[in-house]
Amino acid sequence: MGIDPNFDSNREHVGTENGVDVWGPVEPPEQLGIHGTHVAVDYDICIADGACLENCPVDVFTWVDTPDHPESEQKVEPTYEDQCIDCMLCVDICPVDAIDVDGSRR
């Protein structure tokens, strides 16, 4: 099961991390929530294969450390989501459907 496309209405906004909105629940290190709004990454299912980061034409993503998370010790953060051009490549290339891009959430 991939990221909830309605996370912004189904989950509570619990703050920001590195300037990126975070949607709960968050209980580190096992539960890290969804990071981002327009470009959102579900940290709880992200396996950090890096395809989105390597293929994004406008460099939306950066690596962040997530020590002791059961899926991976790093995640891709949509640090520069405001630069997103809505090409949807990250959504299409993510092997676990952990990313959602929604133009209405700008």
87 is in an annotated binding site: yes
In a domain, 1, yes or no: no
The total number of structural domains that make up the chain: 1
State the pLDDT confidence band at 1, using cuts at 50, 70 and 90: confident
In a domain, 55, yes or no: yes
13 is in an annotated binding site: no
Residue that has been written with the tokens 């959430």 in this structure: 105
> Bridge partners of 35?
22, 41
Domain, as residue range, for 49: 7-105
CA-based nearest residue to 59, from 86, 79, 87, 43 = 79
State the pLDDT confidence band at 104, using cuts at 50, 70 and 90: low
52 is in an annotated binding site: yes
For the segment 16-40, what is each residue's pLDDT rounded down to a tens digit? 999 999 999 999 999 999 999 999 9
Task: Please give the model's pTM, rounded to 2 decimal places.
Answer: 0.95
Q: What is the CATH number of the domain that holds 33?
A: 3.30.70.20
38 is in an annotated binding site: no
